[in-house]
């Protein structure tokens, strides 16, 4: 098992065509080896229930970003929350910005689009 981290590209807001999304829809054609590695990194990051919940909390938060202080109550300790947020950032699913003592997390709309595109049926 490799310890190499695969980071998905984060697309620039307002310019989703600037960077190709992770992968084509799974029903469009077989994934290349590189596409499979990138998709697996994304799905692996989202495969943990706490991570999926944190991702959902950020994605659905008013204004499209959430302070860590607003999303920490997910039934695990603060260090565990930080660990999971780090994993989501490493996978390219979240970005963060420190403002004073707080860190704010954001899911770029293009990342949500890339996740959705991978799972949508071809032609849809």
Q: Check residue 72 and give its pLDDT.
A: 85
SS3 at position 61:
coil
SS3 at position 117:
helix
The fold adopted by the segment(s) 33-119 is Arc Repressor Mutant, subunit A (1.10.10)
In this structure, the chain runs to a length of 124
Q: Check residue 9 and give its pLDDT.
A: 45
Q: What is the pLDDT of residues 26-53, one digit of tens each?
A: 788 888 998 888 888 888 999 999 999 9
Each domain of the chain, given as residue ranges in start order, spans 33-119
SS3 at position 11:
coil
Q: Check residue 124 and give its pLDDT.
A: 59
Q: What is the pTM (predicted TM-score) of this model?
A: 0.74
The DSSP bridge partners found for residue 121 are none
Cα distances from 9 to residues 39, 72, 76, 101, in angstroms, run: 11, 26, 29, 27
Residues of the chain short of pLDDT 50, as ranges, are: 1-2, 4, 6-20
- Number of Cβ within 10 Å of residue 2's Cβ equals 6
């Amino acid at each position: 098992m490799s310890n190499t981290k695969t980071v998905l590209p984060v697309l620039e807001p307002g310019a989703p065509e600037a960077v190709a999304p992770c992968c084509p829809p799974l029903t469009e054609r077989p994934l290349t080896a590189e596409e499979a590695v990138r998709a697996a990194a994304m799905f692996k990051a989202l495969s943990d229930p706490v991570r999926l919940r944190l991702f959902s909390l950020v994605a659905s938060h008013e204004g499209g970003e959430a302070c860590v202080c607003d999303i920490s109550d997910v039934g695990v300790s603060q260090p565990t929350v930080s660990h999971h947020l780090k994993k989501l950032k490493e996978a390219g699913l979240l970005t963060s910005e420190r403002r004073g003592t707080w860190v704010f997390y954001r899911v770029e709309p293009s990342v949500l689009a890339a996740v959705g595109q991978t799972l949508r049926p071809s032609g849809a």
